[in-house]
Chains A and B, each alone.
Chain A
């Protein structure tokens, strides 16, 4: 089945130790998104890629970076995780970037920062 896959499902890191979260898709969609969802809060968009074009949200901290080496893969890098970065990180894809394009979500990676 075509799907959005996130690895790992659970990630534990230490304060300040860089961490990378992975997302892959078999849908061949043009757009990939990264959302941060803190406990009992709404998912919040961090950035997205339209093909190779990177689009950062204005309030996304510089500590968060992303890479998309090819259509299928997208990575979220947190350079120096703080305790406040503990959250569920959700990857999503959509066929295109216009309105009314359904976003397909992966199962998420829950990040714990010690």
Chain B
């Protein structure tokens, strides 16, 4: 079965610093989703990547799916306290049935 491993598990940065979160899959990815979860709340959709080499940006967050389609990175530029939360990557191993599996998440704290 496919597994998603996220690194690091947790991250503490100073406000204004850049950071990168990685998501590595045990199998080829057919669509990679990034979600953000505030503590004790639901998941907020950030971005979806479909093609190897694809890169998307939203505000100060950029996500990329590597050419071999087994790893994705999420990069935050000039981090702010509002970026704090848990970042989860998700993928669909079901061959098109949209049944997502998730990584365990990366907990991000941003200190002023």
Contacts and interface: CB of A to CB of B under 8 A. Distances in A.
B48 A97 contact: no
B98 A97 contact: yes
A90 B100 CA distance: 13
A70 interface: no
Interface stretch (B39-47, B56-64, B74-82): B39-47
Main secondary structure of the interface of B (DSSP, over half): loop
Contact of A31 (B40, B98, B101): B98
A40 B42 contact: no
A110 interface: yes
Contacts of B96: 98-99
Contact of B48 (A90, A102, A107): A102
Contacts, number: 64
A108 B50 CA distance: 27
Interface in A68-104: 88, 90, 92, 94, 96-104
B13 interface: no
Contacts of B4: 42
Interface in B84-112: 88, 92, 96-105
Contacts of B43: 43, 90, 92, 105
Contacts of B98: 31, 94, 96-99, 101, 103
Contacts of A90: 42-43
B88 A42 contact: yes
Given A98-B96, A100-B48, A106 B42 contact: yes
Interface of B: 4, 30-31, 33, 35, 40-45, 48, 50, 88, 92, 96-105
6 contacts: A43-B100, A57-B99, A92-B43, A96-B98, A97-B97, A100-B48
Interface of A: 4, 6, 31, 33, 40-45, 48, 57, 88, 90, 92, 94, 96-108, 110
